[in-house]
């Protein structure tokens, strides 16, 4: 492997990311999947001295419905137009999305309007008729992982921990997986393009880890919308994830890092499902491979308490990674809520090592 070859590719996909004053829109599903990821983003953005504004009346972008063939494009565009209106009304021009599918949809809508100005006018009309709102298109559109990528050095500087095994001194071996709607639709809109996306690799490298390139790196995480949403198709979903795990296993990954709502969900939950379906686990000594969002990982680097990051709701236990990185955690507090009351404890899995 010649890393300099990848750098040449990355150089061709540079992207402008705003430095401050962001209008932030949330994902409709991430707070269920990874409950503290968005909260953690807001926390470190504040600590990094950045202004992030949220309007509580913002809604789903409808991307999940659009990509599941139940929301027509015109409806989706009007929903997007309303989000832009909320941004304009608040006096912001840098739009940041938490969700990859939202990012893909916003990019697709802006690109559509670029090529078909009449469509934009029509949607402006729809929004006006429905809500009386007007909007200005964002000056800069970025995904929250782009913004985190931009701040990766600041996070590293302020950080207490690194992606390094504190006992052996070796870098933690990390697999990265990018959401399809991040750069496959528009390679030029993702940091590093679509073939060798750099957005997560940049964070892993900066925070001390070692990136693993394995043969099924480009394969679907297992979400794929329809293959998961229809229960009859879920065998495809879990088999897709399994194909990736089987391919990455020989490289002994210690962490999977993601930037999409769906990827960490399926790479995490399906490890558990596969362990229950056929007894296979993919980490060392019967453990799973911990899976994280970039916000959660940034939180760990910055020394936030793992249980404040919501890592206890991951199906694959994260403790092996915490121990390698030398991050202290209190097992007794794992399943306590913020008031110190018990949240209940999950039943231990039959094959995967439980903590």
Instruction: Give residues in contact with other proteins (CB under 8 A).
Output: 1-2, 5-6, 8-9, 193, 195-196, 213-218, 231-232, 234-236, 238-239, 242-243, 250-251, 273-274, 276-279, 350
Which of 256, 300 has the CB closer to other proteins?
A: 256
Which of 74, 216 has the CB closer to other proteins?
A: 216
Work out how close the CB of 184 gets to other proteins at its nearest, in angstroms, rounded to a whole number. 12
Work out how close the CB of 276 gets to other proteins at its nearest, in angstroms, rounded to a whole number. 4
Q: Is 206 exposed, middle or buried (0-12, 13-18, 19+ CB in 10 A)?
A: buried
Tokens at 145, concatenated: 């992982």
User: 216 and 244 in contact (C-beta within 8 Å)?
Assistant: yes
- Tell me which residue of 213, 211, 209 sits closest to 165, measured CA to CA: 209
Which of 2, 115 has the CB closer to other proteins?
A: 2
The whole-angstrom separation of Cα 143 and Cα 197 is: 14
Work out how close the CB of 53 gets to other proteins at its nearest, in angstroms, rounded to a whole number. 37
Work out how close the CB of 292 gets to other proteins at its nearest, in angstroms, rounded to a whole number. 23
Which of 99, 180 has the CB closer to other proteins?
A: 180
Work out how close the CB of 7 gets to other proteins at its nearest, in angstroms, rounded to a whole number. 10
The whole-angstrom separation of Cα 94 and Cα 98 is: 13
Which of 113, 223 has the CB closer to other proteins?
A: 223
Work out how close the CB of 234 gets to other proteins at its nearest, in angstroms, rounded to a whole number. 4
Which of 57, 350 has the CB closer to other proteins?
A: 350
The whole-angstrom separation of Cα 109 and Cα 336 is: 43
Q: With both helix axes pointing from N to C terminus, report the angle between 100-115 and 117-131 in degrees, rounded to the nearest 10.
A: 120
Q: At which residue do the structure tokens 């697709």 appear?
A: 108
Q: What is the DSSP letter of 254?
A: S
């Amino acid at each position: 492997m010649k890393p300099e070859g990848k750098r040449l590719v990355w150089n061709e996909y540079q992207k402008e990311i705003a430095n401050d004053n962001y209008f932030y829109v949330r994902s409709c599903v991430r707070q269920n999947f990874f409950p503290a990821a968005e909260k953690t983003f807001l926390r470190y953005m504040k600590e990094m001295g950045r202004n992030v504004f949220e309007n509580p009346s913002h809604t789903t972008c409808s991307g999940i419905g659009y990509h599941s063939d139940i929301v027509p494009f015109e409806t989706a565009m009007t929903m997007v137009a309303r989000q832009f209106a909320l941004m304009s009304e608040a006096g912001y021009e840098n739009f940041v999305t938490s969700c990859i599918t939202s990012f893909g949809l916003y990019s697709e809508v802006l690109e559509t309007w670029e090529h078909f100005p009449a469509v934009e006018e029509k949607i402006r009309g729809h929004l006006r008729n429905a809500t009386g709102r007007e909007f200005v298109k964002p000056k800069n559109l970025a995904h929250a992982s782009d913004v985190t990528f931009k701040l990766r050095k600041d996070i590293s500087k302020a950080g207490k921990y690194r992606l390094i095994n504190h006992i052996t001194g070796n870098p933690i071996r990390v697999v990265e997986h990018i959401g399809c709607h991040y750069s496959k639709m528009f390679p030029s809109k993702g940091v590093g393009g679509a073939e060798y996306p750099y957005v997560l690799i940049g964070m892993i490298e900066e925070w001390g880890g070692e990136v693993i390139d394995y043969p099924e790196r480009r394969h679907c995480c297992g979400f794929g919308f329809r293959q998961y949403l229809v229960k009859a198709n879920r065998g495809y979903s879990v088999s897709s994830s399994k194909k990736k795990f089987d391919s990455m296993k020989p490289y002994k990954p210690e962490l999977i890092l993601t930037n999409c709502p769906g990827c960490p969900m399926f790479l995490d939950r399906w490890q558990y499902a596969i362990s229950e379906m056929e007894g296979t686990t993919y980490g060392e000594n019967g453990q799973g491979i911990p899976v994280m969002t970039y916000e959660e990982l940034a939180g760990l680097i910055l020394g936030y308490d793992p249980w404040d990051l919501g890592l206890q709701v991951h199906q694959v236990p994260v403790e092996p990674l915490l121990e390698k990185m030398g991050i202290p955690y209190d097992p007794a507090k794992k399943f306590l809520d913020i008031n110190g009351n018990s949240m209940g404890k999950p039943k231990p899995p039959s094959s995967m090592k439980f903590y």
